[in-house]
Amino acid sequence: MPARSPVAAAIAVAIASFGSYALTVCRTITWWDGSSYPLAAYTLGIAPAPGSLLLTLLGWIWTRIPLVPPVAFQINLLAGLIAATLAGLVTWIGIDLATREGSPAGALEAFAGAVAGLSFAFALTPWNYAVQFTPYVLSACFAALILLAALGWWRHAEGSDSRRRLFLLFLLLGLDFSVHRTNSLMLPELPLVA
């Protein structure tokens, strides 16, 4: 199978996930964090601790694009889009982990990654956060990006672009601190990477 199969499988899973999320996304604000984060994003205000600055900025930009009323529904669609991206990233990571080093991904690896991505996308907790605007799905998306960057660096550590890959890894980790502090649990492993 061509080298673009991981990307095609990830995109297909992301599209299927977003279609399902869009059909079930909350039409208005939700209970608990469901009102504070959308309000902060719409008004460019300050969200409750831990803050989620990047989520607020993304939500503010998203609400400036007139897509669908009401604004709460539109901003919850953004959560679905982020969660669908996460499902695509899980697919990509699954394909990467199933593929032997130095070999291109084949149809079996793409299928295994798609099953992993779809299993994740339609599990209860990811779906719950995919239909309401909270920082948890963006934090998980950053965890997947960090893991994908770490795998990319690990597989190409001897290459000429290894420093750029390592920079990307640390940049993603730094950006993640503006979303949620959960991924700080990855910090003890950083000396092993460097």
3-state secondary structure 108-152: HHHHHHHHHHHHHHCCHHHHHHHCCCCHHHHHHHHHHHHHHHHHH
Q: pLDDT tier at 13 (50, 70, 90 boundaries)?
A: very high
> How many domains, the chain?
1
* Mean pLDDT across 106-131: 92
SS3 51: coil
Residue 188 has pLDDT above 50, yes or no: yes
Predicted confidence at residue 53, as pLDDT, reads: 84
CA dist 88 and 113 (Å) reads: 9
CA dist 167 and 149 (Å) reads: 10
Half-sphere exposure for 83 (CA within 13 Å, toward CB)? 35
Predicted confidence at residue 1, as pLDDT, reads: 40
Domain residue limits at 185 = 5-193
Residues 85 and 14: beta-carbon distance below 8 Å: yes
